[in-house]
Chain A
Amino acid sequence: GAGVSQSPSNKVTEKGKDVELRCDPISGHTALYWYRQSLGQGLEFLIYFQGNSAPDKSGLPSDRFSAERTGGSVSTLTIQRTQQEDSAVYLCASSADREFGGYTFGSGTRLTVV
């Protein structure tokens, strides 16, 4: 596609439920990143996929968070047993070259845990 596509754009879930967030990067981009942004805060790195290399999971805040990237393209971020502090905007970005800072971000998924 022309840009990074994320779905859903908004998600309201009850505390304790699992959620899946999807990211469809720009075709041909080998690098894919997940960040989250809480209200009024900066972007917090979560996980980074580069080609077929093992992902950099060093930013995942707990073992309730996991992500996968199938076929080097679409990625899914899963949050199990959601907590209220998980409420944030989850942003996905992709880039053609991991050495370059020109990320293209999707418009994000706004997650609200009630």
Chain B
Amino acid sequence: RKEVEQDPGPFNVPEGATVAFNCTYSNSASQSFFWYRQDCRKEPKLLMSVYSSGNEDGRFTAQLNRASQYISLLIRDSKLSDSATYLCVVRKDTGRRALTFGSGTRLQVQP
């Protein structure tokens, strides 16, 4: 079983739609959580951290459910520029401390 699992998609949504992605992680020792964005043939870039209390950054909302070991990302009022692959990322508090990346969920926002 992969440490971080995501639905690969693609999610095809019209502009203005609300879309949500979920991600599950297998290691309960995971301590920190993030969403990264990766455009086609580009390097990943940090989108936002995910806090236990949930957090919002403009049109983006991230939630963490430690009991069920899943993380979500909600995008409201989708823009064409949101089209990208969204990577769910976790870091354990023991052992390897480097980030573990999911394979990503591809989003395509259509006009």
Contacts and interface: CB of A to CB of B under 8 A. Distances in A.
A interface, size bucket = 20 to 34
Interface stretch (B57-65, B69-77, B95-103): B95-103
B49 A56 contact: no
B35 to A, nearest CB: 10
Given A42-B87, A43-B87, A105 B45 contact: yes
B91 A101 contact: yes
B97 A106 contact: no
Contacts of A35: 101
A101 B97 contact: no
Given A42-B87, A42-B104, A43-B87, A101 B43 contact: no
Given A42-B102, A101-B34, A48 B97 contact: yes
B46 A48 contact: no
Contacts of A105: 43-45
A103 B38 CA distance: 13
Interface string A69-109: 00000000000000000000001000000110111011110
Interface residues of B, number: 21
A48 B42 contact: no
Contacts of B98: 33, 45, 48, 56, 59
Interface string A43-80: 10100100000001011000000000000000000000
A107 B96 contact: no
Nearest to B46: A102
Q: Which of B4, B42, B44, B49 gathers most chain A CB within 10 Å? A: B44
Given A42-B103, A103-B99, 14 more contacts: A41-B103, A42-B4, A43-B44, A43-B101, A45-B99, A45-B100, A56-B96, A56-B98, A91-B44, A101-B34, A101-B89, A101-B91, A103-B46, A107-B43
Interface of B: 4, 32, 34, 42-46, 49, 87, 89, 91, 96-104
